[in-house]
Amino acid sequence: MAPDNTNTIQFPYRRSLGPVFGAFMNGLTQRRITGVRCGERVLVPPLEWNPESGEELDHELVEVGPVGTVTSWTWVTEPTVQHPLDRPFAFALIRLDGADTTLLHAVDAGSPDALRAGTRVAPRWRAQRSGRIDDIECFVPGEEPEIPEDDAGAPAEPVTMMDFGASITYRETVSPNALRAIDASRSQHLIGFRCPVCGRTYTGGRGFCPVDAVELGPDHEVELPQTGTVTNFTIVTPVQYPGQTETEPFVRAMVLLDTRHDATAGPGGGDRSSDVILTYQPLLDLRAEDVRVGMRVSARWQSPEGPAPPSGGMGGTIGYLAGWAPSGERDVDDPDLVNRIF
């Protein structure tokens, strides 16, 4: 079963709106758009500082619009889930009446033929408003704002804080070697690919030897040991922000895999020094303060049921490898271990 390899990075946070931006957002809940006076100009959205000199403004708020004029625009033919509308629309710079700067927003024009520089547009207000820029669902051509019949009015309390869930979803390109490594991990096997020229072994699905530029494939596959030694490690103390799932310090370690006797281990064959280091590996069943350079560890695997996890890439576990736990063996006493990072 091929992995989905779709990853989402999330960073939820909360910000205070302050007296200027807070007034702008609260105005939206009341179907009003405000700017701030900056000398002879009116800035929309309002700012607390002069964008040219950096000087603090007097926070003199001015109501503008809500109708305005399109100054420039671009048409979105195929909207995605991240766009504000589920049908073709325009992103436009709109100079609201009474403003000297433009506001970027969506325009539901139906067709690109309905737009030009100079088109007059008005806001389409949402029925339920919460003090966000999307309280204006979009702008529409014309001079009259669109107000829903089931308008819910402004919130009972002023809006002073804003929750924002920043996120990005991406798909990772997976090489054939990475797929082979993930498939092998389903049966608790750890494999690498060995260069036939220099004898170096690579993990994580690398498709070529970066030293000799030799393409690596199934013929170069080797099974790797499931025991190793910690050479370096980092203790991560999680920052407690909204949405953080980690609460206790945890470790990410460099694990130098053991030597394996292998007659195909490059020129000369036989035993050879291990050059395989798995980077940023989770250490399991171990307190962060008990981790040591030289500690002996062995692989731990998670259940192969369900879809395969995404490849760890440059760092992290591969496939169903859950991490590494103390093996109970005596520590390795080698001062050169700390120099083995990659």
Which candidate, 284, 296, 283, 175, places its Cα nearest to that of 225?
A: 296
Please answer whether residues 164 and 195 qualify as being in contact, where contact means their C-beta atoms are separated by less than 8 angstroms: no
Rounded to an integer, the average pLDDT of 193-221 is: 89
Kindly state the tokens that stand for 306: 């369900």
- Find the mean pLDDT for residues 311-317: 58
Domain assignments of the chain as residue spans, ordered by start: 18-159, 170-339
Q: What Rg, from alpha-carbon coordinates, does the chain have?
A: 29
141: nearest Cα among 180, 111, 177? 111
- The model's pTM: 0.57
Q: What is the pLDDT of residues 126-153, one digit of tens each?
A: 999 999 999 999 999 999 999 998 888 8
Residues with Cβ within 8 Å of 24's Cβ and at least 6 positions away in sequence, in order, are: 33, 34, 45, 46
191-194/221-223 β-pairing: antiparallel
What is the tens place of the pLDDT at every residue in 15-49?
Answer: 888 899 999 999 999 999 999 999 999 999 999 99
Residue with structure tokens 């950096």? 54
pLDDT in tens, 273-304: 457 899 999 999 999 999 999 999 999 999 88
Q: Is 113 exposed, middle or buried (0-12, 13-18, 19+ CB in 10 A)?
A: exposed
Lowest mean pLDDT among 3-12, 24-33, 226-235, 327-336: 3-12
| End-to-end Cα, the chain, rounded Å | 30
Which pairs count as long-range contacts for 212-221, CB under 8 Å and 24+ apart, including other chains? 216/177, 217/176, 217/177, 217/193, 218/180, 220/193, 220/194, 220/195, 220/196, 221/180, 221/191, 221/192, 221/193, 221/194
pLDDT for residue 52 is more than 80: yes
The residue type at 172? E
